Amino acid sequence: MIIGFDGSRAFVGKRTGTENYSYQLLKNLAKIDKANSYIVYLRSVAKQGNGWPENFQFQVIKWSRFWTQGGLALRTFKDHLDVLFVPAHTLPVIRYPGLKTVVTVHDLGSEYLPSMHQIKQRLYLGFMQRYQLQTATKIIAVSKATKGSLVKKIGIDSEKIKVIYEGYNKNLFKPVKSDLLVNSLSQYGLKSGSYFLFVGTIQPRKNLERLIKAFARLSELNSAIACLVLIGQKGWLSDEIYKLPKKLGIKEKVKFLGYVPECDLPSFYSGAAALTFLSLFEGFGLPILEAQASGCPVLTSNVSSMPEVADLPGLLVGSVGKGAIFVDPYSIDDIVEGMVEIINKDTKKRIVKAGFENIKRFSWEKCARETLKILEAL
Give residue-wise pLDDT tens across range 266-304.
999 999 999 999 999 999 999 999 999 999 999 999 999
Structural domain includes residue 347: yes
Structural domain includes residue 328: yes
Structural domain includes residue 201: yes
Going by pLDDT thresholds of 50, 70 and 90, the confidence category of residue 37 is: very high
Whichever domain contains 155, its CATH number is 3.40.50.2000
Q: Which domain holds residue 231?
A: 178-361
How far is it, in rounded angstroms, from Cα 13 to Cα 126? Answer: 28
Residue 374: the pLDDT is: 98
Same domain, 130 and 182: no
How far is it, in rounded angstroms, from Cα 137 to Cα 103? Answer: 8
How far is it, in rounded angstroms, from Cα 166 to Cα 20? Answer: 10
Structural domain includes residue 173: no
Same domain, 254 and 211: yes
Same domain, 184 and 107: no
How far is it, in rounded angstroms, from Cα 38 to Cα 57? Answer: 6
Supply the pTM of this predicted model: 0.93
Same domain, 43 and 109: yes
E-only strand ranges, 274-351? 274-277, 298-301, 325-327
| Total residues belonging to the chain | 378
pLDDT tens-digit series, residues 324-372? 999 999 999 999 999 999 999 999 999 999 999 999 999 999 999 999 9
Phi and psi at 100, nearest 5°, equal: -85, 140
Q: Which H helix or E strand runs over 59?
A: strand 56-60
Residue 221: the pLDDT is: 87
Q: Is the pLDDT of residue 186 over 50?
A: yes
Structural domain includes residue 29: yes
Same domain, 87 and 156: yes
Going by pLDDT thresholds of 50, 70 and 90, the confidence category of residue 172 is: very high
Residue 295: the pLDDT is: 98
Q: Is the pLDDT of residue 250 over 60?
A: yes
Going from the C-alpha of 356 to that of each of 29, 47, 258, the distances in angstroms are 25, 33, 28
The CB density around residue 162, as the number of other CB atoms within 10 Å, is 18
Instruction: Calculate mean pLDDT across residues 116-140.
Output: 74
Structural domain includes residue 172: no
Residue 129: the pLDDT is: 72
Same domain, 373 and 351: no
Percent of the chain residues past pLDDT 90, beyond the cut: 78
Report the relative pairing of strands 254-258 and 227-231 from DSSP bridges.
parallel
How far is it, in rounded angstroms, from Cα 59 to Cα 37? Answer: 13
The tally of domains found in the chain comes to 2
Q: 35 exposed, middle or buried (CB, 10 Å; 0-12, 13-18, 19+)?
A: exposed
Residue from 321, 341, 266, 317 nearest 296 by CA:
266
Same domain, 47 and 33: yes
Q: Is the pLDDT of residue 305 over 50?
A: yes
Q: Which amino acid is at 375?
A: L
Q: Do 229 and 197 meet the contact criterion of CB atoms below 8 Å apart?
A: yes
Q: Do 333 and 353 meet the contact criterion of CB atoms below 8 Å apart?
A: no
Same domain, 86 and 153: yes
Same domain, 215 and 326: yes
Q: Which amino acid is at 349?
A: K
Structural domain includes residue 137: yes
Same domain, 16 and 152: yes
Structural domain includes residue 193: yes
Same domain, 159 and 302: no
Q: Do 317 and 293 meet the contact criterion of CB atoms below 8 Å apart?
A: no
How far is it, in rounded angstroms, from Cα 125 to Cα 131? Answer: 9
Percent of the chain residues past pLDDT 70, beyond the cut: 92
Full DSSP string of 126-180: HHHHHHHHHH-SEEEESSHHHHHHIIIII---GGGEEE------TTT-SPPPHHH
Residue 122: the pLDDT is: 61
Same domain, 237 and 149: no
